[in-house]
């Protein structure tokens, strides 16, 4: 094959590339087989015919491109170009995978762009595959944006430009941008780090972590600063690094084993990284780890353009020290921000120093915003921060303090240098007392108070996240109590209360957004004939995750929302079973749980009548379960309601029988139909003879009083055999039926009728 003739047929600088594929789906040697005159001139006379001639702004040409070389056909590409993983990826995709590639690079800090076209050739020689490679140099970056082959990626670059140009809040904007980039790359982590051009010290400007990300933060490594310094030398010949697999990571190991070891320890499998360079000076770096490697080319294109604009934005700041400062400083108040505070906490933990974290929340701050406006609210926060900053900077306490704003009206105080645990209280009180004098905003005197929750390292928690969570838990508790004391130390019991509050918030959200639903657990007689189903409450949170009923039901009972849960499950399950009965004629029972609170509501009977009417479920196919405790706590009040339900034809079941203290006289007076034996007795029935006798006694008493008996939680064959032996009527449990979705329950009903 005359490759030279193919190359000469192109009007732009073009060469023919060969790629040797291996048996593992990768590649080995990449060579430049031939090139037309325009391409070869760039190699043999670069300063007059190639790269140097295209630079018009006086930028210095790197040494690699100033050196003249004699082109030898079929030579390794590294003889003429810096080893470049991005270049190799393009050649591999075009030659081996037969995918046409159009991309572009901004190489070696020359302020010059290369528009690249790689086209596959059908020619193959054993393991050797071929493609054409055309490269067109231009100094016009706008051309690169307009020629982007993917509208989606070009759109993302434009969005980044708009964000960068439309905001003076560099720190906030960069956090937005880096999150957008992480989502675009489908990466675990994306980060922008700044490098001081004089000291070479590194600091994090913005970072974004995906949900459930397990990659370690760079700041968790003591040697992060030393690692960052090695990157500067690595980017002398290349403007980006892409490592998408084990082979690429091995290339990084060969070039920088120190960094490679850090990547392995952090849990990094893939990496794309660009320097933020302006006028030949590296301002910092942007990288994404564990990204969508299947989209490497387009991700590389987007990040290349994005770094170009980010670098321009950073260069507008007059001093790099200012950049470093704003990455650690809250722009509204001038004190440290969340990132700086978290970094301080992590550094203290690494050094093993004892310290105290105080979470602070301004009381009733929302009312200030609502009555005076957000601008006034911001001025209040700035004045509060100013008072606290003065205390910390002028050492007005006996301890070493660091105050930070975490966001909104939340602050955090880190206390060091105290002799004993009690010594932190005077310090916290100093910050509390600083709020004693009124603040004057727009002619209004405001009297501000705050809630202070604190925890100690290492006594109360040992990680930064758990320390902050613990301090927040104690702060939330002191706010909830609403008493004259505004300071509270963390105790483990508070996490339970915090968890309850979290579940309560999820429950309220579920009730308001229709996230409550039901499952149906089948009940059978001892011949395995389907009797019906018990409706069980289920719930999802705002993310769609299922919340265990063991978590939300007790909370619903505690906070007075259980009647709303009952109603939602009652109505929806009745509508479903009513429809199935109409369509199939099935003789099945629906059993629903009703709490004491729900049963005692004045409009409960009206609600039942409305559900019977709207669902069409026959009254004698509905069974209402009440707990045994109602016969003691609310017997007289409940009696009237239950009798009316019974007269309507509705069945009454006494749930969890045997766990309370009801007397036989109460049981005899209740118009019930069913006793349900609690699972706890069934579990012990075959391992404890007294438990077995107890179950047998309940069944016997139930039958004497005219009740049928359902045993709950039957899971084992031995339990089933025993219940048959002692005369139980019905069973409910995993042995014959787990809770089912409505669709699966309907399928079971139809299968049962077919038998």
Any domain includes 642: yes
Any domain includes 260: yes
Q: Are residues 316 and 342 in the same domain?
A: no
Q: Are residues 251 and 109 in the same domain?
A: no
Structural domain range at position 49: 3-139
Contact predicate 571/538, CB 8 Å? no
Q: Are residues 586 and 652 in the same domain?
A: yes
Give 563-586 pLDDT, tens digit per residue: 999 999 999 999 999 999 999 999
Give 702-739 pLDDT, tens digit per residue: 898 889 999 999 999 999 999 999 999 999 999 999 99
Give the angle subtended at the CA of 251 by the CAs of 267 and 28, to the nearest 5°.
Answer: 125
Any domain includes 622: yes
Closest CA to 191 of 213, 169, 212: 213
| Cβ neighbours of 559 (radius 10 Å) | 14
pTM of the model as a whole: 0.43
Contact predicate 263/252, CB 8 Å? yes
Any domain includes 549: no
Closest CA to 336 of 418, 393, 395, 394: 393
Tokens of 57: 């702004």
Per-residue pLDDT, 180: 87
Any domain includes 289: yes
pLDDT above 70 (res 198): no
pLDDT above 70 (res 373): yes
Q: Are residues 648 and 711 in the same domain?
A: yes
* CATH code where residue 476 lies: 3.30.70.270
Closest CA to 118 of 75, 149, 160: 149
Q: Are residues 70 and 123 in the same domain?
A: yes
Give 635-681 pLDDT, tens digit per residue: 566 778 888 998 999 999 988 776 554 446 566 667 888 999 988 88
Sheet harboring 400-407: ordered strands across?
400-407, 410-416, 355-362, 450-457, 487-489
Instruction: Tell me which H or E stretch contains 76.
Output: strand 75-76
pLDDT above 60 (res 375): yes
Give the angle subtended at the CA of 526 by the CAs of 523 and 528, to the nearest 5°.
Answer: 65
Compute the average pLDDT of residues 252-278: 89
Domain count, the chain: 4
Any domain includes 674: yes
Q: Are residues 416 and 283 in the same domain?
A: no
Q: Are residues 417 and 378 in the same domain?
A: yes
Task: Provide the 3-class DSSP secondary structure of residue 41.
Answer: helix
Q: Are residues 191 and 295 in the same domain?
A: yes
Any domain includes 349: yes
CA distances from 179 to 155, 312, 368, 556, 660 (A): 16, 19, 31, 36, 55
Contact predicate 344/414, CB 8 Å? yes
What's the rounded Cα separation, in Å, for the pair 548 and 369?
37
């Amino acid at each position: 094959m005359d490759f030279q003739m193919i190359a000469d047929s192109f009007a732009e600088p073009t060469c023919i590339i060969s790629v040797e594929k291996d048996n593992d789906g990768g590649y080995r040697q990449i060579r430049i087989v031939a090139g037309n005159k325009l391409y070869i001139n760039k190699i043999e006379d670069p300063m007059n015919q190639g790269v140097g001639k295209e630079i018009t702004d006086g930028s210095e040409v790197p040494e690699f491109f100033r050196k003249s070389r004699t082109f030898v056909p079929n030579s390794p590409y590294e003889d003429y170009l810096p080893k470049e993983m991005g270049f190799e990826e393009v050649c591999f995709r075009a030659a081996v995978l037969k995918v046409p590639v159009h991309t572009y690079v901004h190489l070696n800090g020359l302020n010059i762009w290369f528009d690249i076209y790689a086209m596959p050739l059908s020619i193959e020689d054993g393991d050797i595959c071929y493609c054409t490679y055309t490269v067109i140099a231009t100094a016009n970056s706008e051309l690169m944006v307009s020629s982007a082959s993917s509208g989606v990626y070009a759109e993302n670059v434009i969005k980044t430009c708009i964000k960068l140009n439309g905001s003076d809040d560099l720190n906030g904007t960069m956090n937005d941008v880096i999150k957008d980039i992480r989502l675009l790359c489908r990466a675990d982590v994306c980060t922008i780090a700044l490098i001081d051009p004089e000291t070479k010290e590194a600091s994090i400007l913005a970072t974004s972590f995906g949900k459930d990300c397990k990659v370690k933060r760079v700041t968790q490594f003591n040697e992060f600063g030393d690692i960052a310094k090695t990157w500067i030398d690595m980017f002398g010949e290349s403007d980006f690094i892409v490592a998408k697999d084990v082979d690429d990571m091995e290339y990084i190991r060969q070039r920088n084993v120190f960094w490679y070891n850090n990547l392995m320890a952090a849990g990094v499998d893939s990496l794309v990284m660009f320097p933020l360079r302006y006028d030949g000076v590296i301002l910092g770096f942007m990288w994404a780890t564990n990204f969508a490697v299947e989209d490497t080319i387009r991700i590389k294109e987007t990040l290349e353009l994005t770094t170009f604009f980010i670098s321009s934005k950073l260069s507008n700041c007059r001093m790099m020290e200012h950049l470093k400062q704003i990455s650690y400083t809250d722009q509204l108040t001038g004190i440290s921000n969340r990132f700086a505070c978290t970094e301080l906490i992590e550094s203290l933990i690494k050094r093993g120093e004892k310290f105290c974290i105080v979470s602070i929340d301004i009381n009733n701050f929302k009312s200030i915003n609502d009555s005076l406006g957000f601008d006034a609210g911001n001025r209040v926060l700035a004045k509060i921060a100013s008072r606290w900053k003065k205390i910390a900077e002028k050492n007005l306490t006996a301890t070493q303090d660091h105050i930070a704003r975490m966001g909104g009206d939340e602050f955090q105080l880190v206390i060091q240098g105290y002799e004993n645990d009690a010594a932190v209280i005077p310090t916290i009180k100093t910050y509390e007392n600083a709020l004693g004098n009124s603040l004057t905003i727009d002619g209004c005197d405001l009297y501000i108070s705050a809630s202070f929750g604190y925890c100690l390292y290492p006594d109360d928690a040992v990680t930064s996240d758990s320390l902050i969570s613990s301090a927040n838990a104690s702060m939330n508790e002191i706010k909830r109590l609403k008493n004259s004391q505004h300071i509270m130390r963390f105790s483990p019991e508070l996490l339970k209360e915090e968890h309850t509050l979290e579940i309560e918030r999820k429950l309220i959200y579920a009730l308001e957004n229709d996230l409550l639903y039901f499952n149906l657990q089948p009940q059978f007689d001892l011949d395995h004939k389907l009797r019906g189903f018990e409706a069980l409450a289920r719930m999802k949170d705002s993310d769609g995750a299922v919340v265990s009923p063991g978590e939300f039901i007790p909370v619903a009972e505690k906070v007075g929302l259980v009647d709303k849960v009952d109603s939602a499950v009652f109505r929806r399950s009745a509508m479903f079973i009513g429809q199935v009965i109409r369509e199939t004629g099935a003789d099945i029972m629906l059993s629903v749980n009703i709490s004491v609170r729900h049963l005692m509501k004045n409009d409960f009977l009206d609600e039942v009548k409305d559900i019977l009417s709207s669902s069409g479920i026959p009254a004698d196919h509905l069974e209402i379960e009440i707990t045994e405790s109602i016969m003691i706590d609310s017997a007289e009040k409940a009696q009237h309601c239950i009798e009316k339900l019974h007269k309507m034809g509705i069945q009454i079941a006494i749930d969890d029988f045997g766990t309370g203290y009801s007397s036989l006289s109460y049981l005899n007076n209740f118009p019930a139909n069913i006793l349900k034996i609690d699972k706890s007795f069934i579990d012990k029935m075959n391992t404890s003879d007294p438990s077995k006798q107890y179950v047998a006694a309940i069944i016997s008493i139930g039958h004497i009083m005219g009740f049928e008996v359902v045993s709950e939680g039957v899971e084992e064959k031995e339990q089933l055999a025993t219940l048959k032996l002692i005369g139980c009527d019905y069973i409910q449990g995993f042995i014959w039926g787990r809770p089912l979705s409505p669709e699966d329950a309907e399928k079971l009903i139809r299968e049962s009728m077919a038998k």
